[in-house]
């Protein structure tokens, strides 16, 4: 039942949540859409950046390959530093209005996704590089000794193990993106924060409106955090096992 004459903050929260439920739901859905797409595509971009930055240039490579790898390393390093060292809200303004100055039309939502992808890719690039570096070099050398090429060694030996180390950080990045989409209201993206801002302006009840989305953000992050921890635990496998040699010693 809709409260007709709210008299305190709690009643105003309920009133606004009920009356503008469709607006809050639409904002929540758009927030999830940007966070999911931005994180997944950004993860792919970050993987490419991490692989290139971790790649070693050997003396046996041809001149073209050496020049290409050095150029890519410089480009990716500059890209990572720029997006890691500037606020996402500034990035959104520059991408959205900067591209418009070039005569290219871009919707606010698409611009928001692009910014989220680029921001995520910069952070995930360093995460991937660190994940690859955490794998013992002896495993690569062992694979090479068995006749595996550097590409196959990376694909079948290093990356599967590095991926398990990267998953927790990827989950944290998604949760961060879920909250950071709120800054995209500066380019008129109708996400959750923008919905609260609009609703609050109708009755000049900004505090109560922001409390409503605070609850929504909390529920979203809490649920996804539990899901990611469950997945992470499943990926770790069983821990109640014994080595074969220990079993034989006990016989």
What pLDDT score was predicted for residue 237? 65
Residue 236, domain member (yes or no): yes
Neighbours of 112 (CB within 10 A): 30
Q: Is 227 part of any domain?
A: yes
> What's the CATH number where 121 sits?
1.10.3720.10
Cβ neighbours for 123, distance < 8 A, ≥ 6 positions apart: 46, 83, 84, 173
**Mean pLDDT, each 10-residue run in order, the chain (251 residues):** 81 92 95 96 93 79 84 94 95 93 91 96 90 80 80 79 84 95 93 94 94 96 94 72 54 56
Q: Using alpha carbons, list the distances in angstroms from residue 76 to 17, 46, 49, 124, 143.
A: 44, 10, 6, 12, 28
Domain annotation covers residue 213: yes
Determine the pLDDT at residue 128.
Answer: 87
Domain membership of residue 3 (yes or no) is no
Domain of residue 96 covers 9-250
DSSP-assigned letter for residue 157: I
What is residue 206's predicted lDDT score, i.e. its pLDDT?
A: 94
- Whose structure tokens read 């995209």? 184
**CA–CA gap between residue 220 and residue 20 (Å, rounded):** 19
1 lies in some domain: no
Domain assignment of residue 2, yes or no: no
Whether 4 maps to a domain, the answer reads: no
Given a contact cutoff of 8 angstroms between Cβ atoms, the answer to whether 123 and 171 are in contact is no
The rounded distance, in Å, linking the Cα atoms of 162 and 104 is 39
Tell me if 104 is assigned to some domain: yes
What pLDDT, on the 0 to 100 scale, is given for residue 162? 81
- Number of structural domains found in the chain: 1
């Amino acid at each position: 039942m809709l409260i007709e004459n709210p008299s305190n903050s709690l009643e105003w929260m309920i009133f606004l949540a009920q009356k503008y439920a469709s607006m809050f739901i639409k904002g929540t859905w758009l927030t999830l859409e940007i966070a999911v797409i931005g994180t997944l595509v950004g993860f792919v971009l970050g993987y490419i950046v991490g692989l290139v930055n971790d790649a070693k240039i050997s003396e046996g490579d041809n001149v073209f390959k050496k020049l290409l790898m050095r150029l890519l390393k410089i480009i990716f390093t500059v890209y990572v530093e720029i997006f890691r060292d500037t606020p996402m809200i500034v990035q959104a303004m520059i991408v959205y209005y900067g591209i418009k100055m070039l005569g290219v039309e871009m919707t606010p939502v698409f611009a928001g996704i692009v910014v989220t992808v680029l921001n995520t890719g910069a952070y995930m690039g360093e995460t991937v590089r660190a994940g690859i570096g955490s794998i013992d070099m002896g495993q690569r050398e062992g694979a090479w000794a068995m006749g595996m090429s550097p590409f196959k060694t990376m694909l079948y030996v290093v990356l599967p193990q590095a991926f398990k180390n990267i998953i927790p950080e990827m989950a944290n990045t998604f949760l961060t993106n879920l909250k950071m989409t709120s800054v995209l209201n500066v380019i008129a993206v109708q996400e959750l924060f923008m919905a609260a801002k609009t609703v609050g302006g109708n009755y000049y009840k900004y505090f109560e409106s922001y409390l409503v989305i605070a609850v929504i953000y909390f529920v979203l992050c809490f649920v996804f955090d539990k899901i990611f921890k469950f997945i992470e635990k499943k990926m770790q496998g069983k821990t109640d096992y014994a080595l074969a040699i220990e079993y034989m010693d006990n016989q």
